Amino acid sequence: MQTERLKSIRNSFDQHFGGKTQIIVRAPGRVNLIGEHTDYNEGFVFPAAIDREMIVAASSNDSGTINAYSLDYDKDDSFNLSDIQHSQEQGWSNYLRGVMDTLQKGSYPLKGLNVVLSGNVPQGAGLSSSAAYEVAIVTVCNILFNLGISKKDVALLGQKAENKFVGVQCGIMDQFISALGEEDAALMIDCRTLDYKTVPLRLSASGHSIVITNSGVRRGLVDSEYNARRQECNLGTKLLSELTGRSMTSLRDATLSDLEKHSSSLPDKVRRRSAHVVSENQRVLDAATALQAGDIASFGRLMNESHISMRDDFEISCPEINVLVELSQNFPGVAGARLTGAGFGGCTVALVSNDEVERFKASVIPEYETKTSKKAEVYVCTATAGASTIERA
């Protein structure tokens, strides 16, 4: 599949800009196996990079202008590095604009670029198509202009572009796993220190697959309640700091004991938001331990518990997702299933016995579509490496 996409990208580049590319890079999307809305609370997450990616072909030019063509949207855009503005007309271009603006404000020396972009990470599904886009662009600039940016800083610059320019207050997880993911493994990331531990998935040994199902409910993070959840978590941190007399910089510093002791003093919504984050952090730690021990049953149970917490305490699920998760959890051969991503639609992730994957698709998906009138898509994924160069002239 990638071979055909590369051929199309090369042809498009030649048609739009003439000649060959100097560089082609890829950056993957991701699935978070467990640990939702903990990243911006300086907690723990457990994502894997997946075999869906953004591919960017580019060559430098001396014009000071960024000329871009999106193969997916069949649209062109141009802007000058001396005047980077948010575009209302070319929404797909704002991630590119944001990265270039962020690099310039970081005093990285840039030149003009001719760029062709194409991605197969489903958009609006919670698999981090935007992070893959941002990481791919930073990687192109890093290599072409010899910027000397570490992989961790590639992730941080991508996150900053999304926070400051695009306007989505995402945490670091999505860009981090896109930049630093490892093949056949997940990363348990400490979002406070950015330390991480590679945890081999060993799913082939256990006879399971990562099965992601797109619910068909499209999310829009900028227009959703995502930023509201961040504000509620910040309020929980502030109130718990006051109630416990301990200085807390995030909900990472709170314990379940703190919540039990002071629950009656917290607004109900803030208490439940905080309870999700604190308990989810512990689930991530327990899940990594379970996978290292090859205990798929315990890992699946933690996935199921995570979904209940997201549904009831953090309230980021929706009726369609709940139907899909319930059908998945009740299907033979499924170790566990949950909402994955920021919520309000998007995808579920399940660990499914290899022997049952085809029957899962043939049974669960039609029943889901009948119950919800939504069209679902299933992606059976493998864990891949993070951003890398496909070819360089």
List active site positions: 174
Number of neighbouring beta carbons within 10 Å of residue 357 = 17
Give the number of other CB atoms < 10 A from CB of residue 370: 8
**What gap in Å lies between CA 165 and CA 355, rounded to an integer?**
45
To the nearest 10 degrees (0 to 180), the angle between helices 151-160 and 173-180 is 150
With beta carbons less than 8 A apart as the criterion, state whether 28 and 181 touch.
yes
In degrees, to the nearest 5, what angle opens at C-alpha 323 toward C-alphas 322 and 324? 90
